[in-house]
Structure 1
Amino acid sequence: MSRTVPVLILTGYLGAGKTTVLNHLLGTGHARIGVVVNDFGEVGVDAGLVAGQVAEPVSIAGGCLCCIDDPRQLDDALRALSRPALALDAVVVEGSGIAEPPGLIQLVLGSGVATVRFGGLVEVVDAAQVPHAESGGWDLEQHVKAAAMVLLTKTDLASPGDVAQLRERILRANPHTTVLDAPHGAVDPRLFFDAAEHTVPEGGQLPLWEVGESLGQRHHEHHVHHRAATLEADAAVDPAALADLLEDPPRQVHRVKAVVDVRTPRGLQRFVAHSVAGYVTVERAPRAPDAPAHSVVVAIGPAWDDDAAVQPLLDALPRAAGDGVPTAPERRRLTRFA
């Protein structure tokens, strides 16, 4: 089984703060990130974090960048950026001008590139400029409907009452999204992907996060941290119960990742599953034939105060060996995503 790279779509109206969010992800988090843009000059990615405008993917300090001028080229860019040799942790598609958000989601979900998976759409909204944007024809409700997460930037420049009202409007339009205050564009990348530790050969380029720090990139105390609840059990899981969790996670959970065993008539089978705001991918994975059952499930979201709504759902996933093999319909609840 090839490792799949999550693809995040970053959208928002001009001036909402997409560039600030993108540069924060590039410059922090100890991650290697690929970027797909359709107009490098308009994106404004920090010049210290990229090598320059390119038409083909190039390796840069800690990440890679592809520039495309047509949505139909997206698959080519994703194929190039998800090559195992690049060892990227995530790919970010900057949505300005490439296509409307729902169209971009369909392009990623329908991608023929087997080495990528959809990692969610992030809509960036300037909390202080929503009335101005709407007067120019931007439709808040329409743009947040497809978002797995909405980041509210510049909340420090808006009144608390206006921010609260904005949050309510967003959740009415999309009850399944996660709304986070990110006044300076700072958000924990672990809400979106797992950042691996990468070593740099002697004499090689600095990783992106070190480049950002060497440029004096500002790090704010308003960083939004993540919270995780975990199940690790020497057992197989109930595939139907896991499917329920993946499709309809608790309100405070943004993404779920799982490496689990499921009992079948032919023995244990291993699956790797990911869910971002209810968008589910499941892949079959190899396992040693004689290895005992073992399952790990992690639910990740913005910091929450109480595990009561999350941990019990994880603890209920293991299926005792004495309960027998799940029925074919129960197994299909999970395998239909594969």
Structure 2
Amino acid sequence: MPSSLPVLILTGYLGSGKTTVLNHFLATGGARIGVIINDFGDVNVDAALVAGHVAEPVSIAGGCLCCIEDPRQLDDALRALSRPSLELDAVVIEGSGIAEPPGLIHMVLGSEVRDVRFGGLVEVIAVARVALAEASGWDLAQHVKAAAVVLLTTTDLADPRETAAVRERIAHANPHALVIDAPHGAADPRLFFDAAEHPVPEGGQLALWEFGRAPDHDHHDHDHHVHHRATALDAPSVVDPAALAELLEDPPASVHRIKAIVDVAAGRGIRRFVAHSVAGYVSVDRVSRPSDEPARSRVVAIGLECDDAALRRRLDALVRPDGAPAATARELRRLTRFV
């Protein structure tokens, strides 16, 4: 499937468990992942914590990533990691504990590197340490308002009333965020990116640039994983571009991301598009298709609970019946304005 490389941003205050979450991604994801580690300071400490699991680590040191003087540093890292020869499935940026999420998102969306796209922001919160983090100046509302997903760690150590209060505060600050209890930092990576179709070494990763020895980690501990669920449409037909644009822009609350390869009738021919949607951030690319190939459209909605009847109806409504007129210029503009 021709597609751009998703860039996932992983943020959270110091001690929230970001590196634990990242190591779970690397150890259990079954994918090749490039990692950009934002070490706050001149010594690359965090980079050593993920070495051995990572497919291709790049470290940007010397300050907060969202405040670096030359944004080309990030572009250089993304350019290196998006090389086709690496066959990576995703890039994860681990922000420093003081990085501001909106600034990180702006940098990724403003990147001049082709073949990469914003894949969502994940905020990690250690519930048992929220009071300590706030005493140090961290602002829960400011940090979760831009998140697509909030992972709650240390929920096994916190009072249930404390966890409920934190969830309520998150819902007030960002009602659209998907909030997941992940007491051991373990969430299904497939909520965020796809595993590759090419062979992946046992353990999930290939250490190409290794900083040092990784901490001990049980690659087979899946007991605490929160697993994704997917609902799919696979139809031998074209789709309604306006209906697809509406689904991408405003998916059901249970859906975290949508991926699609669809055919659209336009004029006297058929055009093919690859589309992605993560928490309201949409990308659509037109790709080539053999002129003699029958029409086919595939759409997958991914979330924690996304097999409900309402979602099924919205997916089925994308299909245009045989004999329907070709898409109008207005319908195509609504879809392709994301390009």
Asked whether the 8 Å contact 2:38–2:93 carries over to 1, the reply is no
Task: Please say which of residues 21-30 and 164-173 is displaced more in the overlay.
Answer: 164-173
Q: Which of residues 218, 223, 226 is equivalent to 2:225?
A: 223
Displacement after TM superposition at 1:223 (Å): 0.3
Structure 2 partner of 1:65 = 57
The 1:12–1:249 alpha-carbon spacing in structure 2 relative to 1, beyond 3 Å, is: same
**1:46 is paired with a residue of what secondary structure?**
helix
Over residues 195-245 of structure 1, what are the superposed CA-to-partner deviations in whole Å (9 max), with x where a residue is unaligned? 1154369xxx97538998985457251201000000010111111110111
The 1:45–1:246 alpha-carbon spacing in structure 2 relative to 1, beyond 3 Å, is: farther
Distance 2:184 2:305 in 1: 18
Structure 2 partner of 1:85 = 85
Displacement after TM superposition at 1:330 (Å): 1.2
Question: In the alignment, is residue 75 of structure 1 matched against residue 75 of structure 2?
Answer: yes
The unaligned stretches of length 5 or more in structure 2 are 62-67, 208-212
Structure 2 partner of 1:58 = none
Question: In the alignment, is residue 328 of structure 1 matched against residue 325 of structure 2?
Answer: no
Distance 1:157 1:272 in 2: 43
Structure 1 partner of 2:64 = none
Letter in 2 for 1:102: P
Structure 1 partner of 2:170 = 170
Structure 2 partner of 1:269 = 271
Letter in 2 for 1:324: P
Structure 1 partner of 2:193 = 193
Distance 1:29 1:6 in 2: 15
The 1:319–1:183 alpha-carbon spacing in structure 2 relative to 1, beyond 3 Å, is: same
**1:8 is paired with a residue of what secondary structure?**
strand
Matches for 1:25-44 after TM superposition, within 5 Å: 25-39=25-39, 41-43=44-46
The 1:242–1:163 alpha-carbon spacing in structure 2 relative to 1, beyond 3 Å, is: same
Asked whether the 8 Å contact 1:127–1:158 carries over to 2, the reply is yes
The 1:66–1:123 alpha-carbon spacing in structure 2 relative to 1, beyond 3 Å, is: same
Asked whether the 8 Å contact 2:30–2:203 carries over to 1, the reply is no
Structure 2 partner of 1:208 = 205
Over residues 263-316 of structure 1, what are the superposed CA-to-partner deviations in whole Å (9 max), with x where a residue is unaligned? 111410000000001100000011011211110000000145x51231111011
**2:163 is paired with a residue of what secondary structure?**
helix
Asked whether the 8 Å contact 1:23–1:45 carries over to 2, the reply is no
Distance 2:298 2:254 in 1: 20
Distance 1:196 1:213 in 2: 25
**1:128 is paired with a residue of what secondary structure?**
helix
Displacement after TM superposition at 1:3 (Å): 3.4
Distance 1:253 1:3 in 2: 20
Distance 1:220 1:4 in 2: 29
| TM-score under structure 2 length normalisation | 0.89
Structure 2 partner of 1:233 = 235
Distance 2:164 2:198 in 1: 40
Asked whether the 8 Å contact 2:55–2:206 carries over to 1, the reply is no
Asked whether the 8 Å contact 1:27–1:213 carries over to 2, the reply is no
Displacement after TM superposition at 1:62 (Å): 5.5
Distance 1:180 1:333 in 2: 33
Question: In the alignment, is residue 300 of structure 1 matched against residue 292 of structure 2?
Answer: no
Structure 2 partner of 1:57 = none
**2:141 is paired with a residue of what secondary structure?**
helix
Displacement after TM superposition at 1:46 (Å): 3.3
**2:309 is paired with a residue of what secondary structure?**
coil
Q: How many residues align?
A: 323
Identity %: 63
The unaligned stretches of length 5 or more in structure 1 are 51-60
**2:156 is paired with a residue of what secondary structure?**
helix
* Runs of at least 4 residues off by over 4 Å: 209-215
